[in-house]
Amino acid sequence: MAVDAIGTEGAGESALSPVMQDYLKVIYAANEWSDAPVTTSWLARRLGVAPSSVSNMIGRLTSLELVHHRPYASIELTGEGQQMGKAMVRRHRLIETYLVAELGYRWDQVHAEAEVLEHAISDLMLNRIDAKLGQPTRDPHGDPIPGPDGTVIMPDAVPLTELQAGDSGVVARICDDDPVLLRYLEDLDVHLDCLIRVIEQRPFGSGTQVEIVPADDSTTGSARAAAPSIVLGNEALTSIWVVRDPQQAATRGADG
Which of 45, 9, 47, 41 minimizes the C-alpha distance to 25?
47
- Least distance in Å: CB of 34 to DNA? 16
Query: Of 75-104, which residues contact its own copies (CB under 8 A)?
Result: 99, 102-104
In whole angstroms, give the CA distance from residue 53 to residue 233. 35
**Does the protein bind its own copies through residue 10 (CB under 8 A)?**
no
Q: Who contacts 155 (Cβ-Cβ below 8 Å, separation ≥6)? A: 138, 142, 144, 172, 173, 241, 243
* Residues β-bridged to residue 208: 201, 232
**Does the protein bind DNA through residue 204 (CB under 7 A)?**
no
Partner interacting with residue 58 (select from DNA, its own copies, none; CB below 5-8 Å by kind): DNA
**Does the protein bind its own copies through residue 120 (CB under 8 A)?**
yes
**Does the protein bind DNA through residue 48 (CB under 7 A)?**
yes
Identify the residue among 15, 18, 124, 193 touching DNA (CB under 7 A): 18
Closer residue to its own copies, CB minimum distance, 13 or 156: 13
Angle of CA points 220, 185, 136, to nearest 5°: 70
**Does the protein bind its own copies through residue 4 (CB under 8 A)?**
no
Which SS3 state, helix, strand or coil, does residue 157 take? Answer: coil
Closer residue to its own copies, CB minimum distance, 14 or 41: 14
Identify the residue among 50, 112, 154, 250 touching its own copies (CB under 8 A): 112
The total of other beta-carbon atoms located within 10 Å of residue 222's CB is: 10
Asked if 55 contacts 40 with a C-beta cutoff of 8 angstroms, the reply is yes
What is the per-residue burial (b if ≥16 Cβ within 10 Å, else e) of 75-95?
bebbeebbbbbbbbbbbbbbb
Using CB under 8 A as the criterion, which residues of the chain lie in contact with its own copies when the complex forms? 8, 99, 102-105, 109, 112-113, 116-117, 119-122, 124-125, 128-129, 132
Residues near DNA, by CB under 7 A:
17-20, 39-42, 47-60, 69, 71-72, 74
